[in-house]
Amino acid sequence: MFSFSFSDQPRCVWVNGPVIVGAGPSGLGVAAGLKEEGVPYVLLERADCIASLWQKHTYDRLKLHLPKQFCQLPKFPFPQHYPEYPTKIQFIDYLESYANECVESAKYDDACHLWRVKTVSTTGSTRCEVEYICQWLVVATGENAERVMPEIEVIHACDYKSGENFSGKNVLVVGCGNSGMEVSLDLCNHHAKPSMVVRSSVHVLPREIFGKSSFELAIFMLKWLPVWLVDKILLFLAWMIIGNMEKYGLKRPSVGPLEMKNTQGKTPVLDIGALQKIRSREISVVPGIKRFSCGMVELVNGEKLEIDSVVLATGYRSNVPYWLQETEFFSKNGFPKTPFPNGWKGKAGLYAAGFTRKGLSWCYCRCYNNITRYCQSLERGFKAKKAKSPDSPKMHFDILINFFNSCFVKEHT
């Protein structure tokens, strides 16, 4: 990598390898694979820190919902002294030990057939612009980079830190996914009065079954059983443990939790205590919203509630369209146009990592426990290729990125 500049122009840096945009789990995972095989790269982040979603836009009580072995990065297990479900701070420390400039835009230059990635960094009153020039661009900014906000003045779950400031208040929580459930539980524990909006059916599973993680149990059964049968077993066990929650306003979808995750990208809720509060009516479950008025919300069933605050647990979306000036590979929703598992490679050296709609757990489950075996296989393939023809950096890179994405398929189809 070398750099050059002219007066009044951004400093240009030539990268003899790929530029990876996104220093979250997917970007760090790709970087690790490239480093392992000796492929040079530059890792960039739009925010001023790695894993910015975890560092800046998560609430204080957050823990991993799955056991740590399913969320670790390749060839880098969590420290042994970490609990089974690491805290937010522990996970951030772990990511930082694994290992900025803010990416302003990225565009393919048809004239020179190279990618141009512009970054901006500010130190005090000094603004520094750098343009990275490379043959390959890996988009790893994630599926959950930008919050989804309705046209109303409320806070999103990414700005929620603790229920301490909501004590004694009537709080409407919009959304019943893992974030909505946990925010409602946290509000309840801080003596607020949460009402959780549930507009559609939702799968709620116990986080642990017979002392084992529900996810770990599902992965174990998927070794021998089809998805539909594992779904039926999980739902039966969930019914035995948590009972029928429909009378409390939580209806189950007709499609099983694993099948729904595979086909629609919707993650089942892993209960960590919210169901007990729902049963005791400390958390109220209410239907969809019709309209807001001053200090009040009207629901679709005609009921009106007085509210002091609103927390939107309405999810996140990809931010790729905001910075990547390209329309052939990525669609307007920020995902590759070609469905998973084939949407990992575009034209002109453009790659995608982590856009699977399968979440953190699927990204780091058993495929990473077997990463040593896959890397050894790759090494044998490289040696065989070298014996037949000159080595090719592009060949190395294609195999590595394809491997990173195909890990999802090898273990879960």
Query: Number of structural domains, the chain?
Result: 2
pLDDT at 190: 93
Looking up residue 177, the CATH number of its domain turns out to be 3.50.50.60
Same domain assignment for residues 153 and 247 = yes
Same domain assignment for residues 336 and 238 = no
Same domain assignment for residues 215 and 252 = yes
Characterise 330 by phi-psi region: left (phi > 0), alpha (psi -120 to 50), beta (else). Answer: beta
SS3 for the chain, per residue? CEEECCCCCCEEEECCCCEEECCCHHHHHHHHHHHHCCCCCEEECCCCCCCHHHHHCCCCCCECCCCHHHCCECCECCCCCCCCCCEHHHHHHHHHHHCCCEEEEEEEECCCCEEEEEEEEEECCEEEEEEEEECCEEECCCCCCEECCCCCCCEEHHHCCCHHHHCCCEEEEECCCHHHHHHHHHHHHCCCEEEEECCCCCCEEECEECCEEHHHHHHHHHCCCCHHHHHHHHHHHHHHHHCCCHHHCCCCCCCCHHHHHHHHCCCCEEECCHHHHHHCCCCEEECCEEEEECCEEEECCCCEEECCEEEECCCEECCHHHHEECCCCECCCCCECCCCCCCCECCCCEEECCCCCCHHHHHCCHHHHCHHHHHHHHHHHHHHHHHHCCCCHHHHHHHHHHHHHHHHHHHHC
d(CA 53, CA 144) in angstroms, rounded, equals 8
d(CA 261, CA 264) in angstroms, rounded, equals 6
Same domain assignment for residues 165 and 183 = yes
Q: Decide: pTM greater than 0.85.
A: no
Same domain assignment for residues 14 and 127 = yes
CA distances from 186 to 21, 179, 193, 272, 282 (A): 34, 10, 11, 11, 12
pLDDT at 231: 93
Radius of gyration for the chain, computed over Cα atoms and rounded to the nearest angstrom: 23
Same domain assignment for residues 12 and 69 = yes
pLDDT at 366: 41
Residue ending a domain, choose from 270, 290, 314: 314
Same domain assignment for residues 125 and 161 = no
Q: Tell me the sheet residues that pair with 20.
A: 43, 138
Same domain assignment for residues 163 and 307 = yes
pLDDT at 100: 46
Same domain assignment for residues 108 and 212 = no
Same domain assignment for residues 242 and 302 = yes
Structural domain that includes position 69: 2-146+317-412
Residue ending a domain, choose from 314, 332, 359: 314
Phi, psi at 189, each rounded to 5°? -70, -20
pLDDT at 382: 45
Residue ending a domain, choose from 281, 314, 347: 314
**Which has the closest alpha carbon to 34: 409, 393, 356?**
393
pLDDT at 372: 42
Give pLDDT tens digits for 151-184: 444 677 778 888 888 899 999 999 888 889 999 9
Could you list the pLDDT tens digit for every one of the 413 residues in the chain? Answer: 544 444 455 677 777 778 888 777 677 777 777 766 777 777 777 666 666 666 666 777 778 777 877 777 666 677 888 888 888 888 877 776 655 456 677 888 888 888 888 877 655 566 778 888 888 888 877 666 566 655 444 677 778 888 888 899 999 999 888 889 999 999 999 999 999 999 889 999 999 998 888 888 988 898 899 999 999 999 999 999 999 888 899 999 999 998 888 777 788 889 989 999 999 999 999 998 888 877 788 899 989 898 888 888 887 777 787 778 777 788 877 778 877 667 777 887 887 877 766 654 444 444 443 344 434 443 454 455 455 555 455 555 555 555 555 544 444 33
Same domain assignment for residues 137 and 156 = no
Same domain assignment for residues 8 and 131 = yes
Which pair of tokens denotes residue 302? 């005609």
Give pLDDT tens digits for 61-82: 778 777 877 777 666 677 888 8
Q: Which residues contact 411 (CB under 8 A, 6 or more apart)?
A: 365, 366, 367, 370
